[in-house]
Amino acid sequence: MTLETMIGEPWADYGLVDSGHGRKLERYGRFRFIRPEPQAMWAPATTDWRAAAEFVPGSDEDGGGRWNFNEPVPRDGWPMKWNEVRFTAQNTPFRHLGFFPDMAPVWSWMREQVADLESPECMNLFGYTGVGTLAMASAGAKMVHVDASKKSVEAARGNAMLSGLGDAPVRWIIDDAAKFVAREGRRGRRYDGILLDPPKYGRGPEGEVWRLEEDLPGLIADCRKLLDANSRFLFLTVYAVRMSALAIGEMLRQVMGDLPGKVECGELGVREEARGLILPTAIWARWSR
């Protein structure tokens, strides 16, 4: 199994400006921010980084820390756009900005897989604030958006309104992803495509505990039951864990091996504007027909 890199290129509202010495400088709309980035093991292109705020990590390993603001930034967020999808970016307590820009090439790839279908039915598990869901819905897909966080689903619905997709065929589900997928399997449901972007650790709305290394294989097996020989894709991304792309690729190959198509794996990366180098961000595996 060969490895492939999916590279996120800069777009009008987002870019990785510079990176190095364990940090990265990014632009989000009209603002620039500095965040920690352990993968940036090289020297930056320049040390003259000016930003609206910098995230300073805490002493724990659970993503804690705080934003230090150098200039006013709207605390309730500001509008951004990817292609025809509009959404709100916001400084969160978890160092990110309310969406994951390195997923942009994944959104484009998924749209390509179902471009010839009329009203394909797809599911976004751990859908967060819904930019991936809306990327598909804006291309004509019927979507099921699942996240355990009521706050995240409310933000996703708000982004749908911003995008003019308030009436789009999207089912907004607040539920534990693993439980929901298992129920869909028992119902005999099928999908044309599934996106999974699971966290390393999480809790469901009723206190269910999600541990990636323990629970991912079972979830993938249940997702397989929702796909058939006419389905188009399953795309899995994994962040911040001690796994390899080859490992999750082999797991997916064994589960999906009875379906026609191919399994691939690799890394996600974002192209830096200053020098064109690629900053790795996550690993992925995918099945496509």
For the segment 262-272, the average pLDDT, to the nearest whole number, is 97
Phi-psi region of 76 (alpha: psi -120 to 50; beta: other; left: phi over 0): alpha
Give 51-97 pLDDT, tens digit per residue: 999 999 987 655 679 999 999 999 999 999 999 999 999 999 989 99
Distance CA 90, CA 247 (A): 34
272 vs 10, 20, 26, 52, 250, CA distance in Å? 8, 11, 9, 19, 30
Q: Provide the residue count of the chain.
A: 289
63 vs 12, 16, 122, 134, 240, CA distance in Å? 28, 21, 30, 27, 10
Confidence of residue 11 (pLDDT cuts 50, 70, 90): very high
Distance CA 29, CA 11 (A): 10
Residue 275 pLDDT greater than 70, yes or no: yes
Tokens in use for 14? 């987002």
Pairing of strands 53-57, 31-36: parallel
Give helix 177-186 / helix 212-224 axis angle, nearest 10°. Answer: 20
Report pLDDT for 63. Answer: 60
